[in-house]
A = this chain, B = another copy of it.
Amino acid sequence: MNLRCARLDRAEVCATCGARTLAFCAALDLDELPELAAIRHDVTFGADQELFADGDAAESIFNLIAGCVRLSKLLPDGRRQISEFVLPGEYFGMVTGELYPFAAEAVTEGRLCRFSRRALDDLGERHPALHRRMLHMAWDEVTRMQEQQLLLGRKTPVERLASFLLTLAARYARIGVQAAPLHLPMNRSDVADYLGLTVETVSRTFTRLTKDGLIRLPRSAEVVLADPDGLAALAEAE
């Protein structure tokens, strides 16, 4: 295989990527994609694999293609807060400082593109649409985080879990993943650390929602949203 062939192949990868229309890559035209493909590094990872640790040198930005990743921060005594579950099409690892102020770990196995910050920034200089798209995605992220702050600061456990299930279902629906039944890739401990609760409270709350007929739980990782309107009423907290 000669160089020319190799370049075409790499471009092909981006052109046929399932996550392209969702991710920031959508900002580039087909004929610009080879430039993106040229600076992209393909990474596959297994469940529970650490992608980077809190305090690592922040040299890369990541674009998730498949799987689920959790971003988390720890207190010295081990208390943990998961700030986000990253889904396909979303990017993570963006910081302006030298070090990542949070950790990224795989929830499930999956695949992502790694870009050197430097190279991606250069590409953005040449194709401003890329930075513009990343800006809008960052704004969406901020909006989601405001919603999550309301949840963490003011909602009861039932309201938190109802919000969580609905939001996750909506996010999966948006990226074209069937959501009935809703599959939870993360375990109860992850859910607890995302919602600011303990595993026990999460478990009790699942039971409570089940007994009230709002959901069904054929398996612990599979949720049927039996009464979405009822859940929404809880989530918006009447």
- Residues of A whose CB lies within 8 Å of any CB of B are 71, 73, 75-77, 79-81, 83, 94-97, 101-102, 121, 124-125, 128, 131-132, 134-136, 138-143, 145-150, 152-155, 193, 195-196, 236-238
What are the nearest 8 A-B pairs in CB distance? A153-B196, A128-B128, A152-B152, A138-B138, A81-B150, A83-B146, A81-B153, A79-B154
Closest to A127 in B: B128
A75 to B235, CA, bound (A): 10
Neighbour of A139 across the interface among B102, B138, B147, CB < 8 A: B138
Complex CA gap A135/B131 in Å reads 7
How many copies the complex holds: the figure is 2
- Given known pairs A71-B146, A131-B132, A236-B75, the reply for A81 and B154 (CB within 8 Å) is yes
Residues of B within 8 A of A76 (CB): 236-238
Chain B neighbourhood of A80, CB < 8 A: 154
Pick the contact of A143 from B77, B95, B136 — CB < 8 Å? B95
Report the minimum CB–CB distance from A48 to chain B (whole Å): 21
Count chain B CB atoms within 10 A of each CB in A73, A80, A97 and give the residue with the most. A73
Residues of B within 8 A of A150 (CB): 73, 75, 81, 83
Instruction: Tell me whether B196 and A101 are in contact (CB under 8 A).
Output: no
Q: Is the CB of A148 within 8 A of B149?
A: yes
Find chain B residues with CB under 8 A from A94 CB. 139, 142
Please name 12 further chain A to chain B contacts, defined as beta carbons within 8 Å, in addition to the given A101-B146, A135-B135, sorted by A numbering. Answer: A76-B236, A79-B154, A81-B150, A81-B153, A81-B154, A83-B146, A94-B139, A96-B136, A97-B143, A142-B145, A149-B152, A152-B153
Residues in B with CB closer than 8 Å to A96 are 136, 139-140, 143
Q: Which residues of B contact A146 (CB under 8 A)?
A: 71, 73, 83, 101-102, 145
Q: Can you offer 23 A-B residue contacts whose CB atoms are under 8 A?
A: A73-B147, A75-B154, A75-B237, A76-B237, A79-B154, A79-B155, A83-B146, A83-B150, A94-B139, A95-B143, A96-B136, A96-B139, A96-B143, A97-B143, A124-B128, A128-B131, A138-B141, A141-B142, A142-B142, A145-B146, A148-B149, A152-B153, A153-B193
